[in-house]
Amino acid sequence: MLDNILKTTMSTPFNSEKIIIHKINDAELSTFLVGFDIDDSGESKYRIKPLINKLSDVIYEFAFGFHDGEETSNNEILGKLTEAAQSIYKIDAFQKVKDIYDNDGSITDDLNDKYLRRGEFGELILHLLLRDFHNTIPLLSKIYFKDSFGATVHGFDAVHIEPNSKTLWLGESKLYKNGKTGIKALIQDIEEHFQSDYLNNEFLIVSKKLKHFDNIHEKDYWLDLMSKSTKLVDQLDSINIPLLCTFDSDLFTNHSDENDQTFINEYLAEMRELKKYFDDNNNHPLKTKLNIILVLLPVQNKIELVKGLHNKLSLLQKLGEW
């Protein structure tokens, strides 16, 4: 009885579980979906608008982390959101991608420009999923340091911590039309990023920035973990690596009810197939030492999702110009 009461009263930072369903929650596989609702005419529609609105709620924390404090008063919320939108569009990749989508273009899967792909908000989606479903706290924000200091930023798409387990979460994210193409790109990321020289360089950048702040939970512990003196095997043991692939799936055009058993069976089969594809193609020499969590979020239409997010942020940006 007490467990049920706790489950109903506990809330996540952004309450996204009302929109995003955590379907598979295994040690090495974490999958999600956004389902359907009826419109005013009674037709079943994919819930893209609630998803875009929920991701928009995350913009301020995504942009600034906890570097400006952990709480915002009600009379500051709009100002903070517009400030965050303006900071995001100061980053060239986001502005360029916005311009592409404004002119009815899109980012195709064969584009190899990793910097330009940042402007599609894969990092924002990863931030939300880690916060609400994996109990993490953002350690550093790329956008905060790029905007406030013009500083060199770390290469990972997410640098979070989970204080209870004392794990450092170093995440990568991809937003593609084809799931397997996105997974290939994630495999390339871990091949490039999880080597001792790369990690030492990243940890040096992160550690220098951490020293600016006093509101970081057990800061000395994280600095020690990232120290060059700490053995690589000990570092890897305390690091989780969430690899997010957001991608188009025909499930959401072929079906109209996420609770239908046929939908569920096809969804689970698609997720397991992509996990097998990842396992079969991940040849990292340290893969038995890497705590990788493949995170999958199939959506109805990646282009509409990105376009909707840019439209929403553009409105916030313009509000700040008045």
The answer to the question of residue 211 being in a domain is: yes
| Coil, strand or helix at 140 | strand
Q: Which two tokens stand for residue 237?
A: 């043991």
Question: If you average pLDDT over residues 120-135, what whole number do you get?
Answer: 95
Whether 75 shows a pLDDT value over 80: the answer reads no
The answer to the question of residue 235 being in a domain is: yes
In tens, the pLDDT along 194-222 reads 999 999 999 998 998 888 787 788 999 99
The answer to the question of residue 273 being in a domain is: yes
Question: If you average pLDDT over residues 282-296, what whole number do you get?
Answer: 97
**For residue 167, which of 242, 245, 275 has the smallest C-alpha distance?**
242
Domain coverage including residue 264: 11-319
* Euclidean distance between CA atoms 125 and 25, whole angstroms: 17
**Predicted pLDDT of residue 8:** 40
**Predicted pLDDT of residue 95:** 87
Cβ proximity of 165 and 236 under 8 Å: no
To the nearest whole percent, how much of the chain has pLDDT over 70?
A: 88
Instruction: Share the mean pLDDT of the chain.
Output: 88
Q: How confident is the model at residue 321 (pLDDT cuts 50, 70, 90)?
A: low
In tens, the pLDDT along 96-119 reads 988 998 898 988 988 877 767 766
How many domains is the chain built from? 1
| Coil, strand or helix at 195 | coil
The answer to the question of residue 307 being in a domain is: yes
Question: If you average pLDDT over residues 222-240, what whole number do you get?
Answer: 96
Whether 77 shows a pLDDT value over 80: the answer reads no
* Pairing verdict, β 44-46 and 137-140: unpaired
Q: Which has more confidence, 263 or 213?
A: 263
